[in-house]
Amino acid sequence: MVEKNGLSEFEEKVVIVTGAARGVGKATALKFSKHGANLVIVDVLEKELNEVGQIIREKGKKVLPMKADVSDNRQVQYVVKKTLDDFRKIDVLVNNAAIAGPSGPVINLAEKDWDDIFRINLKSMFLFCKNVVPVMINNKKGNIVNLASIAGKEGNENLGAYSASKAGVMCLSRVLAKEVAMYGIRVNSIAPALINTAMPASVPKEIIDKLLTKIPLGRMGEPEEVANLILFLSSEKSSFITGQCFNITGGRGDY
């Protein structure tokens, strides 16, 4: 990571990470704190979220754990207000919160499950971007990284709503990147394949086994590997990159 005067460029930066109680969100929050950032971590899993907060505090960094429904605009607005009350700025937003939902053919998918998946996976990103971007415009800089999925590019059978929601994440990120570039704000997305988190554990083993056969490296990725890419896209090392979606898939996917 880029160093300035012996300190990480993230020293005292303020970073919001959603879905931070476990998996990629947890790994990302810990990685940013290791590089000097102050964290606002958001999740509905209060116990696990507070445990992540305690780890960060023990390392001597400031952290604000906030239990919130990321798809509720009032709660998102409160998260942003509390962040500004405590830290006065927002430098980086990582939209990571997501659910896989039930597996099965599209024709068997309940309308409520479709709505829930889009509410958590896509609407939440819209709400956080809508509320955070004006803060970044005032600062004349900022970085947003949205977590999509290779499923949004290729489509995973029996995970239709999840795949469609992640395609939406990529498109939203591209559009927003064009709209805010003039303000010095960069927006990118990431498309992981299978990552070793709780989410694959909620998907039937036969689907996971099939998806693993599509990965040339022959394994799941680790949350820390995704966190490394998020840090890169939030850093000055990627200062001329915006509006892009980066695969992190062990070789799966060709665009």
Just list the catalytic residues: 162
Residue 156: both structure tokens together: 């995973």
CA distance 14 to 32: 9
Tell me the C-alpha to C-alpha distance, in Å, between residue 206 and each of 119, 184, 251: 27, 45, 21
Strands (E), the chain: 3-4, 7-8, 14-18, 38-43, 63-67, 92-95, 142-147, 185-192, 245-248
CA distance 92 to 142: 6
Cα radius of gyration rounded to whole Å, the chain: 17
Length of the chain in terms of residues written: 255
**77: number of CA atoms within 13 Å, CB side?**
3
Sheet containing strand 185-192, edge to edge, reads 63-67, 38-43, 14-18, 92-95, 142-147, 185-192, 245-248
CA distance 147 to 245: 9
Residue 159: both structure tokens together: 């995970």
Instruction: Collapse the DSSP code of 45 into the 3-class scheme (helix H, G, I; strand E, B; otherwise coil) and give the result.
Output: coil
